[in-house]
Structure 1
Amino acid sequence: MELKNKKLEDELFNSIRQDVLLQWSTGNDVDFDEAVAYHKEIPKHKVFSDKLIEAKEQGNTLIQPRAGVALVDKHIELLNYLVNEGEADLLPTTIDSYTRHNRYHEAEEGINESRKAGRSLLNGFPAVNHGISLCRKVNESVNVPVQVRHGTPDARLLTEVTIAGGFTSYEGGGISYNIPYSKNIPLDKTIYDWQYVDRLIGKYEEAGITINREPFGPLTGTLVPPCISHSVAIIESLLAAEQGVKNITVGYGQCGNLIQDIAAIRTLESLTEEYLHKFGYEDVVVTTVLHQWMGGFPQDESKAFGVISWGAATAALAGATKVIVKTPHEAMGVPTKEANASGIKATKQLVTMLRDQQMVSISDLKLEKDMIMAETRCIVDKTLELGDGDLAEGTIRAFQAGVIDIPFAPSRQNAGKVFPARDNTGAVRFLECAHLPFTQDIKSYHHDKMKERADYEKRDMSFQMVIDDIYAIGKGKLVGRPR
């Protein structure tokens, strides 16, 4: 395996594909030409990329939940409930954990046990096991676009089956579905495997079928500074574009400070477009997604709705193309369909009310945007330098050097030396920059912001701030102040 940021040649792709399609029996049903013909018959209003482009042009924010259960009919029932009762604009099909780890025999057992129990005993939809025809049944049974959401380091067979099965959007990437999810999987392997995923989607594009791709924005989901998630999103977008992907949604996980979150969404789109154009990818459409708060939730349902509504307001004011919705039952485990619909409706209400309002361009917003862009460029440019211009090689070396360092990630490929915490206004800063390739001015800015909070709270700058901030929102606060 030679890892380079270069479009996979057909001979190599087809050689890999023979092995991929043999991983489970449903791979035998994949017929690329037939799948292309099937996609050409999908109505325009059910195509993810078309819906996103329309929303971007009109300045609307679309609403999308997370959801997935084991049995096909129950999954269809759930998705239709989220549209009819929850008023979702876009739908997910969240994949189960066994499938995410390519454990298809155990997924099959989970399907059988779920049938016996009459309810889902898996935490998602086992798409590979269900196969192409049943995936098509799901897509044909709803009237809005559906995306595959998962968390799979090796997602090649899942991509083959689900795209042939009529799904028009696919989430993930070789970094974002490895470092935050896995401990021992080599980064070069996942980037290589996801080159296959993106090349497959590039081949659909060449055949006239646009499949939306979405790198997973929130990463570890808690206190991830914008420049780190931006850098990963930009890198995964560039890797995808090289393989022929033309429609990309870059994501960001809400941190909670309104000014910082608005600045993050707006800079994410402009920076991604900047780097795509820099490398000659002029015809890639970029949209954005805000993930509502991914950290701990209050157990009290009313307080949870407050967190959800704050995320909805942030998405609308930032002008995100879509928002991924949480539910008031986040603190209690897998939500019911009723709770899921409630979260969607609360978000829909806020987004509708704020649709015609804009955040004024004030000095604080400009400063935040300038800082995020400067920090992100430091990381991405250093990554390119480490790879001598090759982004794939540079990414491996950047993780080895701590130039990219994702807070709280379990992967041994990740340095784990960066510590984020909130400043006195609740914006996420760096308590410890470690080996991030920042200028001295940027490092001083973060130090001063954290010192300001420490002085206000009359305590030393320490890791205790990080701990306090992780649990703060679950306790009804943004900043983890000492008692």
Structure 2
Amino acid sequence: MELKNKKWDLDKFMEFRKEVLQQWPTGKEVDLQEAIAYQKKLGEEKIMAEKLQEAKENEETLIQPRAGVALIEEHIELLKFLRDKGKTDLLPTTIDSYTRQNNYKEAEAGIKESSDEGRSMLNGFPAVNHGVINCRKVVEALDAPLQVRHGTPDARLLAEITLAGGFTDYEGGGISYNIPYAKDVSIEQTLYDWQYVDRLVGYYQEQGVRINREPFGPLTGTLVPPSISHSIAIIEGLLAAEQGVKNLTLGYGQCGNLVQDVAAIKSLEELAQEYLKDYDNIMLTTVFHQWMGGFPQDEAQSFGVISWGAATAALSKATKVIVKTPHEALGIPTKEANAEGLRATKQLINMLKNQELVSNTKLAKEKEMIKKETKQILERVFELGAGDLAQGTVKAFQAGVLDIPFAPSKYNAGNLLPARDDNGAVRYLNHGNLPFSDEVVEFNKQKLEARGEEEAREPSFQMVIDDIYAIGKGMLVGRPRN
């Protein structure tokens, strides 16, 4: 394996496909030229890139849930319910945990058990086991675009089957679906495997088929500073563009401070446009993820968290928002609860559609600092790779220049400690080995010291713990007096 940020030639790609398609018997169902012809016959209403482009041009924010169950008909019924009762604009297919780990034998057992029990015994849709024909049954039963949402370090066979099956959007990346999800998988391996996925999407693009790609923005989901998630999103966007991907949705997970979150979405789009300028005809959109940390157990309080995320998405002008449910603290939601979260989000977005967060010095300062931090990280990544982004990414994780808080991977330094400042914005309590200037380090230090003065305590790890549990307890900042 020789990892370079260079577009795979077609012979190499086709040779690798032979091996990938042999990983499970349903791989035999994939005929790439037939799949391209099938994709070209899909109606415009089922093509994610078309819907996103239209939304971006109209400055609309589309809504999308997470959802997936084990059996074909039940999965169709669930998605139809979310479309009809939840009024969702875009549809997901969340993949089960066995498939995410390429454990197709256990997924097959889960399908059988689900059929025997009459209810889903898997936490998602086992698309690889169901194969191309059954994926097409799902696509053909619905009237909105379908995205594959998963969490798979090696997502090659899943991509082959779902794209041949008519899905028009594929989530994830070699960093965002490795470091936050796996312990023992090397970053070099997943970057290589995801080059395959992006080359596949690029090949579809070359044949006139628009497949949208969406790196997973929230990463570990809790208290991830914007400059960390921005750096990863931009790296994965650039790696995808090198393989021929033309439709990109870059994401960010809500932190909770309105000004910082709006500044994050706006700065993400501006930074991405700047870094992607050498690639032609990139259609860039953004996705805002509602709060990915702990939720209150009380449903009414949960609706407050959902609505705050909806309002932030609308005011930031994100192209779409991933919606949570009032059952987040309780486990897998009912379809009714999922629809309720969607309707609450749609209400807020409709009310705020034509409103803007008034530009002020705080918003401008947040954008400035996010951009400064992100650029300092990315500049060092490029330096480490001597201009090769893929190699630079591997070396940056080794050096802690790229570091994701609370990630399980042994390939992640884990030196970062984020905490909220007195206004709830996420700052660096400990920036580890991130290549920040003295100005940036001092800015973060002063913000956290100001909170410490307000709370009569020194900034410490206890702040981090308090902040992790704060929203679940009904607040944003983890104050000791609460």
**TM-score above 0.5:** yes
| Alignment of structure 1 residues 341-360 onto 2, 5 Å | 341-360=339-358
* CA offset digits 1:75-114 (Å, max 9, x no partner): 0000000000000000000000000000001100000000
10-19 vs 235-244, greater mean Cα deviation:
10-19
Structure 1 residue 305 displacement after superposition: 0.1
| Alignment of structure 1 residues 176-255 onto 2, 5 Å | 176-255=176-255
Which residue matches 2:404?
406
Structure 1 residue 144 displacement after superposition: 0.6
Which residue matches 1:30?
30
Let me know the Cα RMSD of the aligned residues.
0.4
Paired letter, 2:303: F
Which residue matches 1:420?
418
Say yes or no: does 1:155 pair with 2:155: yes
Say yes or no: does 1:263 pair with 2:263: yes
| Alignment of structure 1 residues 98-177 onto 2, 5 Å | 98-177=98-177
Which residue matches 2:303?
305
Structure 1 residue 282 displacement after superposition: 2.7
SS in 2 for 1:473: helix
CA distance in 1, matches of 2:460, 2:40: 57
Say yes or no: does 1:444 pair with 2:456: no
CA distance in 1, matches of 2:359, 2:280: 28
Paired letter, 1:71: L
Structure 1 residue 410 displacement after superposition: 0.5
Which residue matches 1:316?
314
SS in 1 for 2:250: strand
Structure 1 residue 221 displacement after superposition: 0.1
Structure 1 residue 46 displacement after superposition: 1.1
Paired letter, 1:359: L
Which residue matches 2:378?
380
Which residue matches 2:6?
6
Paired letter, 1:385: E
Structure 1 residue 126 displacement after superposition: 0.2
CA distance in 1, matches of 2:410, 2:11: 33
* CA offset digits 1:143-165 (Å, max 9, x no partner): 01010000000000000000000
Say yes or no: does 1:367 pair with 2:372: no
Which residue matches 2:94?
94
SS in 1 for 2:276: helix
CA distance in 1, matches of 2:10, 2:355: 49
Structure 1 residue 14 displacement after superposition: 1.3
Say yes or no: does 1:475 pair with 2:436: no
Paired letter, 1:461: P
Paired letter, 1:126: P
SS in 2 for 1:198: helix
Structure 1 residue 461 displacement after superposition: 1.2
Say yes or no: does 1:334 pair with 2:329: no
CA distance in 2, matches of 1:243, 1:12: 13
Which residue matches 2:16?
16
SS in 2 for 1:36: helix
* CA offset digits 1:238-284 (Å, max 9, x no partner): 0000000000000000000000000000011111111000xx11311
Which residue matches 1:325?
323
CA distance in 2, matches of 1:433, 1:32: 46
CA distance in 1, matches of 2:324, 2:346: 12
Paired letter, 2:141: S
CA distance in 1, matches of 2:184, 2:37: 40
| Alignment of structure 1 residues 19-58 onto 2, 5 Å | 19-58=19-58
Paired letter, 1:54: E
CA distance in 1, matches of 2:462, 2:194: 37
* CA offset digits 1:211-243 (Å, max 9, x no partner): 000000000000000000000000000000000
CA distance in 2, matches of 1:304, 1:328: 5
Structure 1 residue 19 displacement after superposition: 0.5
* CA offset digits 1:23-77 (Å, max 9, x no partner): 0000001001101110111001110000000000000000000000000000000
CA distance in 2, matches of 1:40, 1:11: 24
SS in 1 for 2:273: helix
SS in 2 for 1:331: coil
Structure 1 residue 460 displacement after superposition: 1.0
Paired letter, 2:50: D
| Alignment of structure 1 residues 288-303 onto 2, 5 Å | 288-303=286-301
Structure 1 residue 429 displacement after superposition: 0.2
Runs of 4+ displaced beyond 2 Å: none
SS in 1 for 2:35: helix
CA distance in 2, matches of 1:322, 1:10: 33
CA distance in 2, matches of 1:207, 1:239: 20
Say yes or no: does 1:396 pair with 2:394: yes
